[in-house]
Structure 1
Amino acid sequence: MRKLWVLLFIGSISSFAQPVKIAKLKYDGGGDWYANKTALPNLIEFCNEQINTNLALSEDVVDVGSPDLFLYPYVYMTGHGNVLFNNAQVENLRSYLTSGGFLHIDDNYGLDQFVRIEMKKVFPELEFVEIPFDHPIYHQKFDFDDGLPKIHQHDGKPPRGYGIIYEGQLVCFYSYECDLGNGWEDQSVYNDPQEVRFEALKMGANIISYAFTAEL
């Protein structure tokens, strides 16, 4: 499936191609999966301008247990609160990720303690590992030699990029103590300095590029 999405990514560079959709993940548990309402549209616009993609201008919403999950090469998960996957959702998400799909989890503050438990259900045999700074996800269109940029302070810890590696391939990237999505939001939402927002958008574009083109 990843090879199909590589072709879609290459095709999306053409202005004549059908726009490619990305999606935000809807999950149970009461957490605000719908947070960062302006984030993905701004990231999409940036990617279309800076890395020549032809992404549809608004994201879809897809439930973690829906068969429609397989329609999207990149799925974004965010929020502050509780996350809960039932058995069918666990099976569906694992199938998606092991078939070439890519999940980006972006802790909007407070997600960490919940999402680690639920992702352990998806990959009981695997752990989140810190992604080294020389990994290709940090060196697509833009180079991040020191890993993730620090967008919001939260607990004041350094930003960390974690991942789940399945059969040698990064299938889930987890941005922690960083809050890329807040950096993608309209400036009126958080009023971050323009240079901070630009760093967040550049890293987001790298993740999109990696999700579409990395071989499984």
Structure 2
Amino acid sequence: MKNRLTLILLFFCSVNFSQQIAILKYKGGGDWYANPTALPNLIKFSNTNTNTFIDTDINTITLEDDTINNYPIIFMTGHGNVFFTNEEATNLKNYLISGGFLHISDNYGLDSYIRRELKKVFPKSEFQEIPNNHPIYNQTFNFTKGLPKIHEHDKKPAQGFGLFHKGRLVVFYDYESDLNDGWEDAAIHNNPEETRIKAFKMGSNIIEYAFKN
């Protein structure tokens, strides 16, 4: 009987305190659905190696969904065009300034489009490169040299950029790193295991930081 009560309590605790992440489905024709194994793998790593309890059921949302505020973190990726309507840009701004967090992972080819569309969200703000001593690089795992390079495209250095609102980092953008390629199943990109572990550790840091802030 005692064991049964313990299991019931654990069940309700897991339901009440589970955390959630959503994938952003956006307009414009870009492949928002790229790298389908990435987030499930990252969540497993984060739940195993850090103090997160993220629901393994990952929902897909749009910026028109009323449920957007149910997700402390929204993830987006892709290779191509992104387009936000004025209404979507307003909804995204309201989500971010109300405590939400957006992680953008450039899967190569996203850069010019996402910079253009985020100007609709924060017209007066520019991406700032995140310094290596920022807390996002120093959570459970330490990255003293900043964002790790995971997948090679143009032989450019990996850079982490951010948008801030009243001093709080609300958008983190990994550029020329391709973190989500490192999160994919090993057989897909054939990245060395050491490289994949770096990607998982950095992804976990981003999640930890977003939940704390």
* TM-score > 0.5, shorter chain as reference: yes
Contact 1:40 / 1:58 at 8 angstroms: preserved in 2? no
Number of equivalences: 201
* TM, length-normalised to structure 1: 0.91
Residue 64 of structure 1 and its aligned partner are, at CA, apart by 1.9
Q: How far apart are the structure 2 equivalents of 1:145 and 1:67?
A: 39
Q: How far apart are the structure 2 equivalents of 1:22 and 1:164?
A: 20
| Cα distance per residue 1:87-119 (max 9 Å; x no partner) | 110010000000000000000000001000000
State how 1:200-211 maps to structure 2 within 5 Å: 200-211=199-210
Q: How far apart are the structure 1 equivalents of 2:14 and 2:119?
A: 38
The corresponding residue for 2:193 is 194
The corresponding residue for 1:47 is 46
Q: How far apart are the structure 2 equivalents of 1:199 and 1:166?
A: 28
Q: How far apart are the structure 2 equivalents of 1:110 and 1:70?
A: 28
Give the secondary structure class of the aligned counterpart of 2:136: helix
Residue 65 of structure 1 and its aligned partner are, at CA, apart by 2.2
| Cα distance per residue 1:65-101 (max 9 Å; x no partner) | 2221111011101000000000110010000000000
Moved more, 17-26 or 114-123: 17-26
Q: How far apart are the structure 2 equivalents of 1:148 and 1:58?
A: 27
Contact 1:101 / 1:171 at 8 angstroms: preserved in 2? yes
Q: How far apart are the structure 1 equivalents of 2:67 and 2:79?
A: 25
Residue 20 of structure 1 and its aligned partner are, at CA, apart by 1.8
Give the secondary structure class of the aligned counterpart of 1:76: strand
AA partner of residue 145 (structure 2): D
| Aligned-pair Cα RMSD in Å | 1.0
| Cα distance per residue 1:160-197 (max 9 Å; x no partner) | 00000110010000000000000000001111111000
Of structures 1 and 2, the larger Rg is shown by 2
Structure 1 residue 26 corresponds to structure 2 residue 25: yes
Structure 2: runs of 5+ lacking an equivalent: 1-9
Structure 1: runs of 5+ lacking an equivalent: 1-13
Structure 1 residue 91 corresponds to structure 2 residue 90: yes
Q: How far apart are the structure 1 equivalents of 2:201 and 2:30?
A: 27
Structure 1 residue 165 corresponds to structure 2 residue 161: no
Q: How far apart are the structure 1 equivalents of 2:19 and 2:152?
A: 33
AA partner of residue 210 (structure 1): Y
* TM, length-normalised to structure 2: 0.92
